[in-house]
Amino acid sequence: MAERQTIIILDFGGQYTQLIARRVRENHVYSEVAPWNLSVEEIRRRGPAGIILSGGPSSVNDPDAPHIDPAVYALGVPVLGICYGMQLTAHLLGGQVEKAKEREYGRVTVRMREQSGLMNGMQAASACWMSHTWQVSACPPGFHPTASTGNCPIAAMADEEKRIYGVQFHPEVTHTDEGKLLLRNFLYEICGCTGDWTMDAFAETAIRQIQKEVGETGTVLLALSGGVDSSVAAALIYRAIGKRLTCVFVDHGLLRKGESGQVCHVFSHLFPVRFIRADAADQFFADLKGVTEPEEKRRIIGRDFIQVFRKEASKLGKMDYFAQGTIYPDVIESGQGTNAAVIKSHHNVGGLPKELGFTELIEPLRMLFKDEVRSLGEALGLPRELVWRQPFPGPGLAIRVIGEVTPEKVRIVQESDAIFREEMAKAGLEQKVSQYFTVLTGVHSVGVMGDERTYDYTVALRAVTTDDFMTADWARLPYGLIATVSARIVNEVPRASRVVLDVTTKPPASIEWE
Ligand code: XMP
């Protein structure tokens, strides 16, 4: 049996697979995404409480379509097929799947034929998110339809005796009004889960695992960037092995205002690891001199980072393990499911362990989603400002300075950004807007200050709302807030004389300016 109740999600390449995993975990039930062809023996070995078959782009009637071994349905474990997962279930168990007369896409009213089992407590009709071309036209023996839409007579089906279910709509997306309830019914009523996935429980198990892996005397080296992931990884490993953890923090002088000091404080006082800060700002600025092309900036920063890190690591003597803050989306996106070790291709650690001669990697966060990493950080006692830090590009503020990067320009970004953050916090918008920052545009403009003509920098405000950072909308910030931020920047930040607001969505723009 699994150490904790686990839902295995077999992935057929659907765009919402990760979202299904997150929704399950939000219900305090642990879930793992696995490739659709995970063997029946392996599924049995993992002892899941339930199995979810994801959506996917294929059509079950296509000879090349991914088909699971029908023995999965005979494991005695409840199965929920979503979209393609439902069609596959129908196809494999003797039902029929046909092309729908009309492709259904978007929010559609679904009528529930029953309000028990999977649909327990749901309304007779509710809005659901549909996105399909194929649909089940005849249920397999033992199944009966449990929901329908105008165009799709079998929008859900069930074999209650065998505890096998299918839904054509997507309960995992927020556009499905009662999706949360449906998933909860599956987890708690049908699979018998009790909600044993909590961050405190995870921390305890993870600490024990690290202790077991590293042994009584093993040492660990970690590259601390100051971001959420590496900081939480460091805190967790510190709890497991104390000062046998050494953190090397390469300070490139391109972090936000106050962050470098905070990282030093947290890892010298709250989590007193063996902490090495390499102050390399001069080297980074020297190497960035005259460089204006964004990719070139990234390349130089990546290269310098590795150089500095290697130099520091070589002074430390032999370390047994290299630790990094790889998180679950990196693992899933690399297509490696949950079995193999993955090295995050982040600019500052990609390839480093190998170059430094490490064969042993410790990645204690590799099963966690970002929001879970934050909860873990809080459970471990890291400061809130650190745990709730916004996403931040590896190359730091260098990509928020358009054109050549100089210490003065970085200071303008740091100061203006600090003002923007302060005012967002005062307005209570810190966690309502996904990401916000200032950019030093390459534009100079004429102004007057006192009686003097000025010719100084233009600062842009960028604030976006997004779920996944792949697409984003510009945040509709209150005018009063924008006015205060603008006035403070031009008054308090020397050489910033104009403030503009970026009102572009992604696509076509990106979030960063670079
Ligand atoms: P763009 O500008 O591509 O940014 O719309 C999407 C998100 O990614 C962040 N970003 C990075 N994160 N290393 C990172 O870890 C990087 O090199 C990097 N570049 C951009 C960006 O801040 C936004 O949240």
513 CA: nearest ligand 1 atom: 2
Note the pLDDT tens digit of each residue in 367-388. Answer: 898 889 999 999 999 999 999 9
319-335 residues labelled b (16+ CB within 10 A) or e (exposed): bbbbbbbbbbbbbbeee
Residues 296 and 230 occupy one common structural domain: yes
Question: Which of helix, strand or coil describes residue 202?
Answer: helix
Report how far residue 143's alpha carbon sits from residue 346's, in angstroms, rounded to the nearest whole number.
48
Measure 217 CA to ligand 1 centroid, in angstroms: 38
Say which residues have a Cβ less than 8 Å from residue 135's Cβ, sequence separation at least 6. Answer: 87, 97, 98, 100, 104, 152, 154, 155, 168
CB atoms within 10 A of CB 143: 23
Q: Are 333 and 181 in contact (CB under 8 A)?
A: no
Predicted confidence (pLDDT) at residue 347 exceeds the cutoff of 60? no
Q: Specify the residue with its C-alpha closest to ligand 1, atom 11.
A: 393
Name the domain count of the chain: 3
Residues annotated as catalytic (active site), given as ranges: 83, 170, 172
Residues 275 and 353 occupy one common structural domain: yes
* CATH code of the domain covering residue 237: 3.40.50.620
Among 344, 469, 514, name the best residue to mutate to test ligand 1's pocket (greatest count of ligand atoms within 8 A of Cβ). 469
Residues 216 and 298 occupy one common structural domain: yes
Which residues have any ligand 1 atom within 6 Å of their CB? 346-347, 391, 393-395, 435, 469, 506, 510-512
Q: Specify the residue with its C-alpha closest to ligand 1, atom 14.
A: 393
Any domain includes 352: yes
Measure 359 CA to ligand 1 centroid, in angstroms: 29
Measure 392 CA to ligand 1 centroid, in angstroms: 7
| Final residue belonging to a domain, choices 146, 170, 190 | 190
Question: In the structure encoding, which two tokens stand for residue 99, read together?
Answer: 């092309």
Q: Residue 215 gets which letter from DSSP?
A: T
Q: Specify the residue with its C-alpha closest to ligand 1, atom 24.
A: 391
| Final residue belonging to a domain, choices 173, 190, 207 | 190
Among 299, 511, 513, 514, name the best residue to mutate to test ligand 1's pocket (greatest count of ligand atoms within 8 A of Cβ). 511
Can you tell me the mean pLDDT for 422-439?
96
Among 392, 397, 417, 436, name the best residue to mutate to test ligand 1's pocket (greatest count of ligand atoms within 8 A of Cβ). 392
Any domain includes 512: no
Measure 87 CA to ligand 1 centroid, in angstroms: 37
Place of tokens 């599956």: 186
β-strand 79-82 against 125-138: which pairing, if any? Answer: unpaired
Any domain includes 311: yes
Any domain includes 73: yes
Any domain includes 54: yes
Question: In the structure encoding, which two tokens stand for residue 50, read together?
Answer: 């339930």
Question: Which of helix, strand or coil describes residue 400?
Answer: helix
- Distance spanning both ends of the chain, measured CA to CA: 49
Residues 141 and 277 occupy one common structural domain: no
Note the pLDDT tens digit of each residue in 465-478. Answer: 987 788 899 999 99
Predicted confidence (pLDDT) at residue 342 exceeds the cutoff of 90? no
Measure 25 CA to ligand 1 centroid, in angstroms: 25
Backbone angles phi, psi at 293, to 5 degrees: -80, 125
Residues 419 and 337 occupy one common structural domain: no
In this prediction, residue 436 carries a pLDDT of: 98
Question: In the structure encoding, which two tokens stand for residue 217, read together?
Answer: 């005397």
Residues 208 and 179 occupy one common structural domain: no
Percent of the chain with pLDDT over 90: 84
Any domain includes 506: no
Note the pLDDT tens digit of each residue in 262-297. Answer: 999 999 999 999 999 999 999 999 999 999 999 999
Question: Which of helix, strand or coil describes residue 442?
Answer: strand
Residues 103 and 243 occupy one common structural domain: no
Any domain includes 414: yes
Q: Are 148 and 163 in contact (CB under 8 A)?
A: no
Any domain includes 112: yes
Measure 320 CA to ligand 1 centroid, in angstroms: 32
| Final residue belonging to a domain, choices 326, 354, 387 | 387
Residues 243 and 374 occupy one common structural domain: yes
More confident residue, 346 or 60: 60
Residues 293 and 239 occupy one common structural domain: yes
Q: Specify the residue with its C-alpha closest to ligand 1, atom 19.
A: 393
Q: Specify the residue with its C-alpha closest to ligand 1, atom 16.
A: 393
In this prediction, residue 339 carries a pLDDT of: 31
pTM comes to: 0.83
Q: Are 169 and 130 in contact (CB under 8 A)?
A: yes
DSSP code string of 130-159: EEEEEEEEEPPTT-EEEEE-SS-S-SEEEE
Residues 152 and 204 occupy one common structural domain: no
Among 512, 513, 514, name the best residue to mutate to test ligand 1's pocket (greatest count of ligand atoms within 8 A of Cβ). 512
Note the pLDDT tens digit of each residue in 453-507. Answer: 999 999 999 999 987 788 899 999 999 999 999 999 999 999 999 999 999 999 9
β-strand 274-279 against 435-449: which pairing, if any? Answer: unpaired
Q: Which domain holds residue 471?
A: 406-501
Residues 225 and 370 occupy one common structural domain: yes
Predicted confidence (pLDDT) at residue 52 exceeds the cutoff of 70? yes
Q: Specify the residue with its C-alpha closest to ligand 1, atom 18.
A: 393
* CATH code of the domain covering residue 61: 3.40.50.880
CB atoms within 10 A of CB 42: 12
**Range of weakest confidence among 63-67, 143-147, 314-318, 447-451:** 447-451
Residues 166 and 232 occupy one common structural domain: no
What is the helix (H) or strand (E) element at residue 245, kind and residue range? strand 245-251
Report how far residue 259's alpha carbon sits from residue 262's, in angstroms, rounded to the nearest whole number.
5
Q: Specify the residue with its C-alpha closest to ligand 1, atom 4.
A: 511
